[in-house]
Amino acid sequence: AGAIPFSLLSLQIIKCKAAVMWEANKPFSIEEVEVAPPKEHEVRIKIMATGICRSDDHVITGSLVMPFPIILGHEAAGVVESVGLGVTSFKPGDKVIPLFLPQCGECSNCISTKGNMCHKNDFGSAAGLMPDGTSRFTCKGKPVHHFLGTSTFTEYTVVHETSVAKIDSAAPLEKVCLIGCGFSTGYGAAVQTAKVDPGSTCAVFGLGGVGLSVIMGCKAAGASRIIAVDINSDKFAKAKELGATDCVNPKDFNKPVHEVLIEMTGEGVDYSFEVVGRIDTMLAALASCQYNYGVSVIVGVPPATQKISFDPMLLFTGRSWKGSVFGGWKSKDAVPVLVADYMKKKFVLDPLITHTLPFTKINEGFDLLRTGK
């Protein structure tokens, strides 16, 4: 019958394995799912490697509210399998990174040089659907929700073309998947959001993959002193390897950690970064930076139901308090450049990778996350 035309191939439903989260606080269930073909302006991707991020775990525990059932995952790299109508910038075989923060190029935040929170993001609404209000995933006859427009805990996913970046075809996908979230988020918080300057002092609260990436950003920006703060001292060796000059465990002191940092530095640090996602550490990071020109950046995802109350004098004296999503980068523009920089050895990713597991062992991966390993 001859070769099947490509346009027909791209209309097939794909059956594959995915890690489905049916309800909160339960393990992932490896299921066969059906992945619909990409609609207009959509791209279907074969996921080759995906990282595990604390933000995925926040959905499981309920501190980031999303609808169930859902396919989580937002830090990945893969290969384009097929494209929908109207897609001109991607073709099958392209190596890509899905973007949990899209870049439409048309909204006020995309147009502004100061912004990166594209209006088409799924943070505020948490609808868990494609932009047209429907899902591309079905399991056991039921629709399954998407996560942040990416859903990478599956062998195949569908994303909108505003939520994917084409990258160097030579890039190792099992490494550069980290540029889809953890590395870019941390590194960018230092170089892009805070704009750390040479000779400055920094404190980084939380030494997971994102916190370690903040340290790399502070070092790349020329900070003279980088103080790593974590209640797990096992994290200190790697923090020092990546550029931390001092390590502080708050449990070793009888006074608040911000007082410890102020004593260590004289007036507090020039820049502090909260990379945990806890109210108490956000306040400690703010209080630990210099009272007049210190800058504190919230990088960790805030818990859904909690509110902060604090002494406004902390800000009145001149401190700046900022938030940073995806390191302040415009995603579609920045990701290919960051991958190119990695290929030029401008930064390393290997130290951020502690374990490599087969996809079916995803629950073990989350156990390693939760135990700080």
Catalytic annotation, residues: 53, 55, 58, 74, 181
In contact, 239 and 207? CB cutoff 8 Å: yes
Residue 165: closest CA among 362, 325, 333: 333
How far apart CA 28 and CA 70 sit, in angstroms, is: 10
How far apart CA 282 and CA 45 sit, in angstroms, is: 37
b/e map of 256-272 (b: 16 or more CB within 10 Å)? ebbebbbebbeebbbbb
Residue 252's H or E segment, with its range, is: none
Residue with tokens 């060796």: 237
b/e map of 94-133 (b: 16 or more CB within 10 Å)? bbbbbbbbbbbeebebbeeeeebbbebbbeeebebbbbee
CA angle 370, 210, 207 (to 5 degrees): 65
How far apart CA 201 and CA 233 sit, in angstroms, is: 21
Q: Give 325's Cβ-side CA count (13 Å radius).
A: 21
CA dihedral 363, 366, 372, 373 (to 10 degrees): 60
- Please report, as a single letter, which amino acid is at residue 176: V
Residue 363's H or E segment, with its range, is: helix 362-370
How far apart CA 177 and CA 47 sit, in angstroms, is: 10
Question: Which residues lie closer than 8 Å to 16 by C-beta, 6 or more apart?
Answer: 32, 33, 35, 154, 155, 156
CA angle 66, 69, 74 (to 5 degrees): 60
How is the beta sheet containing 246-248 ordered, strand by strand? 246-248, 225-229, 201-205, 271-274, 295-298, 320-323
